[in-house]
Structure 1
Amino acid sequence: MERDLRGYGRARPDIVWPNGARVAVSLVVNFEEGAELAIEQGDAETERYGEVASTSPPGVRDLAQEQVFDYGLRAGLWRFLDVFTDANIRSTFMMCGRAVERVPDLARAVAEAGHEPAVHGWRWLPHALYGDAETERREIEKTRDVIARATGVTPVGFMSRGSQSIWTRDLLTQLGFAYDSNALDDDLPYWSRSPWGSMLVLPYGFDTNDMKFFHPNGFVQPEDFSNYVGAALATLAEEAERGRSSMLSIGFHLRICGRPARFRAVRAILAQLAQLEGRVWVATRADIAKHFRDVAEKKSR
């Protein structure tokens, strides 16, 4: 992949989202518990990125770290589904195939609640670790198929943990995905072109993301997260008044903001979005991709 340091520059597309707003907001929930590194799954070591770092050496099972992850599906999931239902909001759940394989009924509950399932890799690992394109292709296909069987919905979107491989985007194009979200480099969707065709890229964000509760220099109080998201929304809304279109992604994890104290941030963020009704469009990533594609096609006629 060739780096593009210019992007749209000053010639940014003029996008008005379906409700007349110029700011699209994508709420993303990660459904990955049970797909992390774990001795229980035959891995050589335990995932170390969690509430606290694993204290078990390689080869020794860490039940505490497993339970930190398990909380997300056992308790956090239901908090998210309930609050989204109350707020009448549809979000995108990034699902790891191994997690869905273990609890297909929970994945189905997500889809039945109206949320979009998307591919988040077979395991909760960077796709940059794949040594060849064919192995990566098989695991993307396997993940898509497992999610489709569990939810009744075939995923059209993709985002892996961390960095994708140099082949990922071409593979997604060949496999007919509607969008790729492994991008941190813009405030609007854009097209990535290759000999295989064009892939629509929906940027993501690591700053408006609850994983910073796990960073030593990140969020501590729930207000740290909700206030930060509020600042982002305020900036984009102000820019929209001057005709600038944008998209903002807000990332959640079942085991992080699914915890009672941090869940206050989720409620506060939803309240902020409600106050901005008409100035922002809250939608699934699939719907954002479809609208952006439709606008692009109309302008090309």
Structure 2
Amino acid sequence: MNSRRTFIKQAGLLSAASMMPFGRLLASNTKNKKMDTRTKWSDGSRLVVSISMQFEAGGQPDNAESPFPKNLEKGFIDLPASTWYQYGYKEGIPRMLDNWDELGIKVTSHMVGSAVLKNPELAKEIVARGHEAAAHGMNWSSQYNLPYTEEKKFIKDGVDAIKMTTGFNPVGYNANWLRRGENTLSILQELGFKYHIDDLSRDEPFIIKVNQQDFAVVPYTLRNNDILLIEGKNFSADQFFNQVKLEFEQLYAESEFKRRQLSISFHDRIGGTPQMVRAAKDLIRYIQQHEGVAFKRKDEIAELTLGDRTSIRE
């Protein structure tokens, strides 16, 4: 019925336009909008959903940011806060992995190198279950302020930790809190990366030139991010659910005429809690009811983008 009503509506608009001056031009413009191939994913998807699962716990420094108040005296280790991080690899990621399997989707896991070395079996399991291992630096620390050679080593050490542990060669990168430096993209391109995610400027992937070569940008999210909403703004699980649901519904409507990507981000110690995993399950099942939606790893999105001549270029 929807397609028939759409056809009748379009036919009526075209008929009315043909009676007006420049009617043919109006009809042509309407047709071109509907036929614009740039609005379609090359594999035929209507909307692509990209899920991130951050593997950071175990790679944080002593007294890293946590839900606990910053009232600890200098010279002491925040022992309770360290258990909050431990939850990420003891409970969070294992629970999320079971959830992804039940839902039949694959995600991208941004892995801190030192976290991988501390929990190698868990890193192996993530890859063995079919998920992408992407790089997230050697430690959970800043890199934008490092000299070129030090930053390159910081990135490469993280890559080597992932490759040595899992056998997976990372092609995607995420800097700590998205704060890359002026040299980061050049370093990534030199090291063989294909994409990065430290960009919030679009709701679809695009291509940039780095060292005179194509490099993909697969946009990340703060709007649909558990560390910002659940931890940072103290959203409840149902608020998070509704926030992402509204985002999906708007992007799905736009995806009739534009290439759209929905990004969602979960962190091991936050998104892996029972309430958040349940919210994620309900949310994804709702999204899966919509025709043309595809869940893809970010390396898959980058490949589609780089191979599509209609991708946006900047």
TM-score normalized by the length of structure 1: 0.86
Structure 1 residue runs without a partner (length 5+)? 1-11, 39-45
**Number of residues of Structure 1 aligned to a counterpart in Structure 2:** 277
CA shift digits 1:224-262 (9 cap, x unpaired): 111111111100111112x11111210001100211222
For 1:156, the equivalent position in structure 2 comes to: 171
Correspondences of 1:29-178 after superposition (within 5 Å): 29-38=53-62, 46-48=63-65, 50-130=66-146, 132-162=147-177, 163-178=179-194
Could you tell me how far apart the structure 1 residues matched to 2:109 and 2:212 are? 27
Partner of 1:293: 306
Q: Given that residues 98 and 123 in structure 1 are in contact (C-alpha distance below 8 angstroms), is that contact kept between their aligned partners in structure 2?
A: yes
Q: Which has the larger radius of gyration?
A: 2
- What is the distance in 2 between the residues matched to 1:222 and 1:115? 25
Offset at 1:18?
5.5
Cα distance in 1 for residues equivalent to 2:196 and 2:37: 19
How far the C-alpha of 1:129 sits from its partner, in A, is 3.1
The residue aligned with 2:246 is 231
Q: Residue 274 of structure 1 is aligned with which of 249, 273, 288?
A: 288
CA contact (8 A) 1:157 1:179 kept: yes
Contact kept, 8 Å, 2:197 with 2:219, in 1: the verdict is: yes
| Paired-residue identity, % | 28
Per-residue deviation at 1:15?
4.7
Contact in 1 for aligned 2:172/2:195 (Cα 8 Å)? yes
Residue 176 of structure 2 aligns to a residue in which SS? coil
Distance 1:294 1:195 in 2: 18
Structure-2 separation of matches of 1:297 and 1:177 = 22
Counterpart pick for 1:20 among 35, 44, 63: 44
Displacement, 1:13? Answer: 7.8
Aligned equivalents of 1:34 and 1:178: distance in 2? 27
Task: Give the Cα separation in 1 of the matches to 2:180 and 2:198.
Answer: 7
1:253 aligns to what?
267
Mean Cα deviation higher: 20-29 or 95-104: 20-29
Runs (4+) of structure 1 exceeding 6 A deviation are 297-300
CA contact 2:37–2:310 (8 Å) conserved in 1: no
RMSD: 2.2
Amino acid at match of 2:293: V
1:19 and 1:13, CA in 2 relative to 1: closer, same or farther beyond 3 A?
A: closer
* Structure whose residues are more often helix by fraction: 2
**3-state DSSP of counterpart to 1:185:** coil
Please give the alpha-carbon distance, in whole angstroms, between the structure 2 residues aligned to 1:140 and 1:71. 26
- TM-score for both structures, normalised by structure 2: 0.83
Counterpart in the other structure of 2:10 = none
Name the structure 2 match of 1:214. 231
Within the candidate set 186, 189, 204, 1:188 is matched to 204
- Aligned partner letter, 2:206: Y
